[in-house]
Amino acid sequence: MAKKTDSRAVSLVIDGKKRIFDIDDPVLPSWISDSAFASDDFPHKKKLSSESYSESLEKLQIELIKVQFWLQATGKRIIALFEGRDAAGKGGAINAITNAINPRMARIVALTKPTETEAGQWYYQRYIAEFPSAGEFILFDRSWYNRAGVEPVMGFCTPEQYELFLKQTPRFEHLIADDGIIFFKFWLNIGQEMQLKRFHDRRHDPLKIWKLSPMDIASLSKWDDYSAKRDRMLKETHTEFAPWTVVRANDKRRARLNLIRHMLHSMDYDNKDKGAIGDIDHTILGFGPHFLRKSED
């Protein structure tokens, strides 16, 4: 157990109340544990059972295998990018998709910070280099949307670069859609107390501590800044040809199932079994800034 220190304690205002959160304290405060699951007015009272989750996920993964055969037969291509709050479950959602399919034709892209050469290129250039060839399924664990969130919040780009990104991105994504690529954009949203709980879990679990980055710690006091940038991003880049699918992810299990269902319902692949896919929970998954505003009103 790590020695407690006050060096990373931060003062937060949550629901109008001033709170002190010390991520190094092994005891999770009750004001977090008692409200984490319900934060952001999450519409369910408890987590989906592991039995229901496993049963549904297996059916969906069988459908994903059908999708992969369809991609290989037709040469169609898929890009799915995953953005969201830190600790929202992006990696887990990606793993739920890729776990049962052929990794030779399904590739996860998680780029680190740009090299000096990449920093001198057109901003989208290093992402385009990872785009799919015929029959491929590419999943971006974070994407070019770094410039809509973490970069402006943490001061890693100029205001001019940020504004140019918001202007250029719909045009860029129009080219993706015009080229026939099946394109999904997912934003995973969690409540503030849930984010704190997951950060705390990572800090005190030796198998998860690698997930907790210095950037996570630095972001603890910047919740409102990230919220403002998220709202602007959704407003400026939610389009008919590249819509944002918003997923409320306090329950990772429900989030994963519903985003996979959305992908499967969106494609007309061979031997599709709509009964196996099941219905989307529209309290969990919706589209664009309007859905998120409804959940946060």
Task: For 69-123, give the DSSP string.
Answer: HHHHHH---EEEEEEESTTSSHHHHHHHHHTTS-TTTEEEE---S--HHHHTS-T
Residue at 2 is within a domain? no
Residue 1 forms part of a structural domain: no
Residue whose tokens read 């590739």: 107
| Predicted local distance difference test score (pLDDT) of residue 8 | 84
Q: Is residue 204 included in any domain, yes or no?
A: yes
pLDDT at residue 144, rounded to an integer:
98
Residue 74 lies in a domain: yes
* CA distance linking residue 28 with residue 17, whole number of Å: 17
- Structural domain of residue 115, as residue ranges? 10-296
Per-residue confidence (pLDDT) for residue 7, from 0 to 100:
59
CATH of the domain at 254: 3.40.50.300
62 falls within a domain: yes
Instruction: Answer whether residue 152 is part of any domain.
Output: yes
Across the 297 residues of the chain, what is the mean pLDDT of every consecutive 10-residue run? 58 91 96 96 97 98 98 98 97 97 96 96 98 98 98 97 98 98 98 97 95 90 96 98 98 98 98 98 96 63
Q: Classify residue 201: in a domain, yes or no.
A: yes
Query: Is residue 154 assigned to a domain?
Result: yes
The domain total for the chain is 1
